[in-house]
Amino acid sequence: DAGVIQSPRHEVTEMGQEVTLRCKPISGHDYLFWYRQTMMRGLELLIYFNNNVPIDDSGMPEDRFSAKMPNASFSTLKIQPSEPRDSAVYFCASSLAPAETYEQYFGPGTRLTVT
Amino acid sequence: AQKVTQAQTEISVVEKEDVTLDCVYETRDTTYYLFWYKQPPSGELVFLIRRNSFDEQNEISGRYSWNFQKSTSSFNFTITASQVVDSAVYFCALSAYSGNTPLVFGKGTRLSVIA
């Protein structure tokens, strides 16, 4: 299995631009998580989906952030407009029940720099 | 609310020394999962171990061992005979036992092993 795939791996953009991060979960996994890693706040959950439906988006910082999962094999995290404080590494992870073998598989991350 | 505390921000040891990384957690759940992840300089998150809250047996895997003590809400990680390749940031994390729920991460401990 290819694992969780994220693209792009690196993104540099100017303040005010729209940024779209992409994630392909492991085939057959029915949970997908978006996390953000910053020096100040560490690793924190932004949103997660179950069977393509958002379950908890309380970690999404503000309306500039939106996430979608149009099908079981693809999710996007969009920031519009981007700001320098959005600079971070964004990780996507997927998992599959049952709980006894619970593990979240992380993608390699997208390093976003907003100038 | 769930919380994970890794009080050691940075640790530096000389190669072949043993080192213990501390993790203390808070949760109101009676059953839960605990995890350790490694983040090497390349940036990916590498899964090391998952532990169920009802299994307090210590675990050893090669040079790695984990000490879970429910009475003190701690899940400490020891590396025996450390090597330069162990240099990384190590994260402790907690999740509900219901499965496929978000991970709550500690802030991480940066371990530097000096040759």
| Average pLDDT of the segment spanning A84-104 | 85
Contacts of B100 in chain A (CB under 8 A): 30-31, 50, 95-97, 99, 102
Confidence grade of residue A96 (pLDDT, cut at 50, 70, 90): confident
Q: Which two tokens stand for residue A6?
A: 């994220």
Half-sphere exposure of B49 (CA within 13 A, CB side): 22
Confidence grade of residue A102 (pLDDT, cut at 50, 70, 90): confident
Which of the residues A29, A96, A104 would you substitute to probe the B interface, choosing the one with the greatest number of B C-beta atoms within 10 Å?
A: A104
The letter for the amino acid at B18 is: D
The C-alpha atoms of residue B73 and residue B62 are separated, in whole angstroms, by 24
The angle at the Cα of A16, spanning A77 to A41, to the nearest 5 degrees, equals: 55
Q: Scanning every residue of chain A, which has its alpha carbon at the shortest distance from the alpha carbon of B45?
A: A106
Rg of chain B taking only CA atoms, in angstroms:
14
Q: Which two tokens stand for residue A11?
A: 């993104």
pLDDT per residue as tens digits for the range A45-63: 999 999 999 999 999 988 9
| Per-residue confidence in pLDDT tens, chain B, 115 aa | 899 999 999 999 999 999 999 999 999 998 899 999 999 999 999 999 989 898 888 888 999 999 999 999 999 999 999 999 999 999 999 998 776 789 999 999 999 999 9
Q: Which two tokens stand for residue B3?
A: 């919380």
Confidence grade of residue A65 (pLDDT, cut at 50, 70, 90): very high
Cβ A88 vs Cβ A35: under 8 Å: no
Q: Which helix (H) or strand (E) holds B52?
A: strand B46-52
A111–chain B Cβ distance below 8 A for any pair: yes
Q: Is the peptide bond before A25 cis (omega within 30 degrees of 0)?
A: no
Cβ A73 vs Cβ A49: under 8 Å: no
